[in-house]
Every structure is written in C-alpha cells, then in structure tokens.
Amino acid sequence: MSALTDKRIVLGISGGIAAYKSADLVRRLRERGADVRVVMTRGAQEFIRPLTFQALSGNPVHSDLLDPAAEAAMGHIELARWAGLILIAPASAQLLGKLAAGLADDLLTTLCLASQAPLAVAPAMNQVMWHHDATTANVDRLRSRATHIWGPAAGSQACGEIGPGRMLEPDELVRRVERLFGNRQLLASRRVVVTAGPTREALDPVRYISNRSSGKMGFALAAAAQRAGAEVTLIAGPVALATPTGVKRIDVTNALEMRDAAEEAADACDIFIAAAAVADFRPAQVAEQKIKKSDSRDEDRLTLVKNPDIVAAIAARRKLRPFTVGFAAETEKLLEHARGKLQRKGLDLIVANDVSAADGGFDSDRNSVTVIDANGCETLPSALKTELADRLITVIASRAVQE
Ligand code: C5P
C-alpha cells in the first residue's frame, strides 16, 4: 500500500505561471494512490486549461461556486467535507490575502472557509511581492491559524528576477503531503512515551517554583508519534494544551510524580522522549499552610534539594531500556553543552535547542533544533513546532527502529 492510498486531496490552483507544475503534482499524488479533486480559480484558467487537470486527476475540475450543474454533482459543502487535505499550489499573493482576510468570493476560498481539513499553501510569486509587508502579514496570520506554509523556494524566477518566490517542486510537495498525513507508519506498533511541559515544585499550598516551558514541543511530538503509528503515552506537567487525538495522557504536577509516571510507562515502551522541562530542584520542605510574611525574617533562605534526573535514570537501565531521547535547551555554547548532556545522561540521541534565539524557544510556535547522537549532528531548519515534530519523529524512528 502506498503512503497516500485513498487520501482525499483537494488541490487548489490559483493564477500563476507555476500552475503548469501542478499538472505534474496531480500525477505524482495519483501515482501514490491519492484521490485528487482539482479546484481552479479564474486566474489559474488563464495559465492552463481545466481539461489538463481533468485528464490527469480522472475527476471533473471544479471552478464555479454558482454553477448549478456542478453543485448538483458535488456541491461545495460536500467537497469541503470530503477533503482530507486542501493543498493550494500555486498560492498567489492575492489568494493568500483573501485567505488571511477570510474572504469567500469564489469556489476555492469558500471551500477553505467551509472545510475543517488541514490547509497547506505553496506560495509562488515575484520575490518583491513575497517580501512585501502585506504578504508577510498575511502569511503570519495564516500561520497563526495553523495553515501549513510550504515554501517558497529561492532561485531564478519566471519574471527574470532572482529571490524567494518559486513554488516548491512537485516531488518536495508530495513529500510534505506524505509527512502531513503521517501515513508512513514509521512507528507502527511501537510504544512511545513523551514527557512534556514544566513541573511545579510546591513551597506551600499556594506557591511554587516552575519555569516557562509551554509544553508545545512535547505535545507536538506526541501527536507526530501517534500519526506515525505509535501507541503514545504523554506525561504532562501543568500546561493548558489539548490532548492530541489518540494519545493517552497522564497529568502530573511535580518532578517526583513525573518520575513515578515515567518509570512505570517506560517499563512498556520502545522509545522514551524527555521533552519536559523538569525543575532541577524542589523545596526541601513543603509548608502545610501558606507561609506568612509576618513569620519570615527580612532575609530568609529557601532550602532546595535536587530532583531525580528522570531521563538519565531511564537511560541507565539495564533491563527494559527504551531508546532514550533527551532535550537540551541552552542559551549559550549550544552544541558543547548538548554533547556533554548526551554523554553524562547516557542518552541515545539529544535534541539541542537554542532558547535565546528570537525565533524559537519556550513560548514560540516555531523552533530550530540540532539533533546529536554518537555519529554526529544534523541541524533541522526553523519550522513550526508541529512540522518540526514530524521531522524529529522521522529522525528518531530512523535511529530507533532498526528493522
Ligand atoms: O539537565 P537538563 O535539565 O538541561 O536536561 C534536559 C533533559 O533532561 C531534558 O530531556 C529533560 O526532559 C530531562 N530531565 C529529566 N529530569 C530532570 C531534569 C531534566 O528528565 N530532573
């Protein structure tokens, strides 16, 4: 079975010279078993005839919102519900603007509003248009609504200029579609445990020590592992995030609770991924009642004790030892510190993350990381945490699953 067998893809085509490449894209998607329905804007039809896409997709091409005959065959709401993915390639500057504004003045934009399917766009335009503040704002807005922005690539353009604005090549788009559907079953029947979020170490019933971890990276990894076919247990510190579909979640508050849950879950897992920002220390004593200012001296000292290192303990196991992955969030000497941690903690692989970078780190939706193991390191470019998670799971699976 191919990776895209029976996957239902609405391929939107907007006006741009790159539309000719979409013909090849349809062919490649169909070769992998996808069911493709093409929707063209009026602008797209100026560049390439619908008949081409009808022949390649094996389905009638949709272009009119208000065509009674087309609506009778498969109406726009039906098409919106049918889609497992809406991919718009090429996506013109105009189309990105309309999507960002939530306009629905033709079939393609209406479909995007009426569908709950994931939306991916492959921008293609002149490089000055791509760099324009208006386009940047539109793309940021779409990204904040979880739209996948694929490309553009840089290079020579049809208009004779050089710069970013070329639509990604069809084979790259197909790879991304496959990744999005996560149907490669890289981790089929594997059991994966992920720790995520911060821990809270209580001082008294109302106060605690904690850190800025949002849990987004760990949750994205749990979702990505699940998409790759794994049975996933997510051990989460206190975060305000929805549980990814199909993932078993265990909520914990402090490091000792996280350790207990992790040790138990690790007994029956193949891959252990420690993405949690576990507090290194906890107060030596937890006051039963709220500590009163009036009972304290002007300079009071807090006595802390070290928390157990959860991931190091799991990596040090002799029996029931899973493939063990840690994270290193650093503000300086990223690779040096990460390599040190890889060795000290006895990990199989470490994901190094510069949390001082403006684009990435704790609260950000984006991240850029370097993966390090005994064989060397590989830097993954900055991407949305959700996309980065898919890539990380691919790397982890390739190292952990040896068959
Ligand atoms: O030593 P440091 O906290 O920088 O190491 C980070 C890595 O170790 C992360 O993978 C984190 O989840 C894990 N860790 C842990 N238990 C701790 C501290 C860190 O599992 N007590």
Binding site membership of 311 for ligand 1 (Cβ less than 6 Å): yes
* Residue 183: per-residue pLDDT: 47
Binding site membership of 341 for ligand 1 (Cβ less than 6 Å): yes
- What is the rounded CA–CA span in Å between residue 224 and residue 75? 33
pLDDT in tens, 245-296: 789 999 999 999 999 999 999 999 999 999 999 999 999 999 999 998 888 7
197 versus 362: the higher-pLDDT residue is 197
Q: In ligand 1, which atom is closest to the CA atom of 275? A: 12
Mutational pocket test of ligand 1: of 254, 327, 337, the residue with most ligand atoms within 8 Å of the beta carbon: 327
Mutational pocket test of ligand 1: of 309, 353, 369, the residue with most ligand atoms within 8 Å of the beta carbon: 309
* Residue 186: per-residue pLDDT: 84
Under CATH, to which class is 8-183 assigned? alpha beta
Among protein residues, the one with the nearest Cα to ligand 1's atom 5 is 328
Binding site membership of 307 for ligand 1 (Cβ less than 6 Å): yes
Q: In ligand 1, which atom is closest to the CA atom of 195? A: 12
- What is the rounded CA–CA span in Å between residue 197 and residue 213? 5
| 330, 355 Cβ separation under 8 angstroms | yes
Q: Ligand 1: distance of its center to the CA of 118 in Å?
A: 33
Mutational pocket test of ligand 1: of 209, 260, 263, 278, the residue with most ligand atoms within 8 Å of the beta carbon: 278
Binding site membership of 219 for ligand 1 (Cβ less than 6 Å): no
Among protein residues, the one with the nearest Cα to ligand 1's atom 9 is 327
* Residue 126: per-residue pLDDT: 95
Q: In ligand 1, which atom is closest to the CA atom of 311? A: 20
Is the pLDDT at 386 greater than 50, yes or no? yes
| 246, 167 Cβ separation under 8 angstroms | no
Residue 251: other Cβ atoms inside 10 A = 15
Is the pLDDT at 7 greater than 50, yes or no? yes
What's the rounded mean pLDDT across residues 203-210?
96
Question: Lowest mean pLDDT: which of 30-44, 52-66, 142-156, 328-342?
Answer: 142-156
Question: Lowest mean pLDDT: which of 68-72, 117-121, 238-242, 250-254?
Answer: 68-72
Structure tokens at 357: 């970078």
What's the rounded mean pLDDT across residues 377-394?
86
* Residue 363: per-residue pLDDT: 65
Structure tokens at 160: 């004779």
Q: Which residues contact 92 (CB under 8 A, 6 or more apart)?
A: 14, 15, 16, 43, 123, 124, 125
Q: Ligand 1: distance of its center to the CA of 291 in Å?
A: 29
Give the start-to-end residue ranges of the domains of the chain: 8-183, 191-400
* Residue 362: per-residue pLDDT: 61
Q: In ligand 1, which atom is closest to the CA atom of 314? A: 20
Q: Ligand 1: distance of its center to the CA of 193 in Å?
A: 15
- Asked whether the whole model's pTM tops 0.85, one would answer no
Binding site membership of 310 for ligand 1 (Cβ less than 6 Å): yes
- 191-400 has the same fold as 8-183: yes
Q: Which residues contact 176 (CB under 8 A, 6 or more apart)?
A: 120, 148, 150, 168
- What is the rounded CA–CA span in Å between residue 71 and residue 77? 9
* Residue 308: per-residue pLDDT: 98
Binding site membership of 276 for ligand 1 (Cβ less than 6 Å): yes
Is the pLDDT at 360 greater than 70, yes or no? no
- What is the rounded CA–CA span in Å between residue 241 and residue 198? 12
CA 313 vs CA 57, 79, 280, 308, 336: distances in Å: 54, 51, 14, 8, 22
What's the rounded mean pLDDT across residues 13-38?
96
Q: Ligand 1: distance of its center to the CA of 277 in Å?
A: 6
pLDDT in tens, 247-261: 999 999 999 999 999
Q: Ligand 1: distance of its center to the CA of 101 in Å?
A: 42
Q: From 1.10.1740.10, 3.40.50.10300, 3.40.50.300, 1.10.4030.10, which CATH number describes the 191-400 domain?
A: 3.40.50.10300
Q: Ligand 1: distance of its center to the CA of 263 in Å?
A: 14
64: exposed, middle or buried (Cβ count in 10 Å: 0-12, 13-18, 19+): middle
pLDDT in tens, 329-344: 888 999 999 999 999 9
112 assigned to active site = no
- 225, 223, 216, 226: which is closest to 196 by C-alpha? 216
> What is the percent of the chain with per-residue pLDDT over 70, rounded to a whole number?
96
Structure tokens at 219: 């949750």
> What is the percent of the chain with per-residue pLDDT over 90, rounded to a whole number?
70
